[in-house]
Amino acid sequence: MDISDELINGLKARKEELEIQLSQITRELQKINRALNSLSEDDSYFAWTEEAYSCIQSNDKFLQTTEILNYIFYENPEQLGDERRKRNSVVGLSVALNKMVRGNRLKKIVITGIKGHFYGLPEWFDELGRPLNEYLDKLLNEVQKKPMPWVI
């Protein structure tokens, strides 16, 4: 193998690395654009944040995104009949939940065998970050029951 082959192989390897990075950046940009597009005037981040927090607090149990949406739209389920509105609601709420988790206003947990995260208040966790038995028991009892008919 001569120097030109080494140079060509090196350039090909670098090209592959850059293509992977570009793909990752493109996916991240698409996520950001979807989040921005979902936050219209009536679906602002603040509104979703307060609605979600209030919903979790008043139900006094861990909730998933779909459960929070069901509670929020319980009075007006027809609003989720529109596919665009439904998609925007899921994205807008997800953005708000993730920001609250990053800001330590909420915490999330995963239950093995169940898709998605469950969101709860920080005071429902011990100093090691484990859910308190009272709240974990509520969640596990809920999971064992027949699942509620999801709107989404």
Per-residue tokens: 4: 């030109």
Ramachandran class of 60: left when φ > 0, alpha when ψ lies in -120 to 50, beta otherwise: left
54's CB contacts (< 8 A; 6+ apart) are: none
Class of domain 42-144: mainly alpha
Strand partners, 120: 107
Checking if the pLDDT of 88 tops 80, the result is no
Residue count of the chain, please give it. Answer: 152
For helices 83-102 and 45-59, the axis angle rounded to 10 degrees is 80
| Calpha distance 82→87 (Å, rounded) | 9
Q: Which residue has the higher pLDDT, 1 or 47?
A: 47
Q: Which residue has the higher pLDDT, 98 or 86?
A: 98
Q: Residue 147 — pLDDT band, cuts 50, 70, 90? A: low
For helices 83-102 and 3-38, the axis angle rounded to 10 degrees is 110
Q: Which of 4, 31, 14 is nearest to 95 (CA)?
A: 31
Mean predicted lDDT score pLDDT of the chain: 82
Q: Which of 43, 66, 44 is nearest to 55 (CA)?
A: 66
pLDDT in tens, 22-52: 999 988 888 777 766 655 544 455 578 888 9
Checking if the pLDDT of 57 tops 80, the result is yes
The predicted pLDDT at position 101 comes to 95
Alpha helix stretches (DSSP H) within 43-82: 45-59, 65-72
| Calpha distance 22→74 (Å, rounded) | 41
Checking if the pLDDT of 120 tops 90, the result is yes
Residue pair 49/96 in contact (Cβ under 8 Å)? The answer is yes
